[in-house]
Amino acid sequence: MSTLKDQTITNTYHQLMKRQDTYSATASRVEIMDDSAVFKESALYIDITNQRLGIATGGAPVAALDVRGTVQVGVAGTGHDVTFYGDTSGKHILWDQDQMEFGLIGDGTKLSFYDIGGDEFISADNGGDLTIAAGAALNITADVIDLSDATKDITLNAAVDAMNFDSNTLSIDASNNRVGIGTAAPNATLEVKGSFSANASNGTFLTFSPSDIPPSVTGGNYLKHMQVVKH
């Protein structure tokens, strides 16, 4: 390896570099003739053999571009777009300085967490769907979840106990269109396992527990029809 320390380009012309003998203002180049070159000690390292460039590496670079330090693109108020392309056409990573957005561009691109190809990721497709995947649990620590901007439809897996809140406090049977309170396998459109009460605006109050045959009704109105079956 050759360096320019304490030497001039003229003295090291044949060992280190040469400039084209003929060139124009729009076509010129500097060729590194040795296997590698170091400028200003370890600030810039050019590995010609492996076609690598190292900046502040303190030695040979280990990638096509190896930077050991902070990378800055532009300065405050004069930023630039940054694009990273991969092997798949139409997919890339983009920092858009005009929109102040960081994007994963392309159908099916994923933002993975913990490891690449794992179970924890966020992905989008060209149909407008956003998928949030978690290997075990999705933990939301916010005190408020605001869904008030528009009407929401929630689609569940067509199964018994398709959604369960707080260990059977409320269970939704999406296979049979049933709701269970206190049970994960309701046998009716609404099944309550345990006591329940209902209060009407006219003052009628209904309470029911397994020991109440028939249920207790207070207020000005009474039930006209009810069948009570004790299991």
Tens-binned pLDDT, residue by residue, of the chain (231 aa): 455 555 555 544 444 444 444 444 444 455 555 556 666 656 888 888 899 999 998 888 999 999 999 999 888 888 899 999 988 898 999 999 989 999 999 998 999 998 888 899 999 999 999 999 999 999 999 999 999 999 999 999 999 999 999 999 999 999 999 999 999 999 999 998 888 777 777 666 667 766 655 555 555 555 554 555 554
Q: What's the confidence (pLDDT) of residue 117? A: 87
What is the distance between the alpha carbons of residues 30 and 21, in angstroms, rounded to a whole number?
A: 11
Kindly report the CA angle at 66 between 65 and 68, in degrees rounded to 5? 145
Q: How far apart are CA 23 and CA 81, in angstroms?
A: 33
How high is the pLDDT of residue 16? 45
Instruction: Check: CB of residue 101 under 8 Å from CB of residue 93.
Output: no
- pTM here is 0.62
Residue 101: per-residue pLDDT: 93
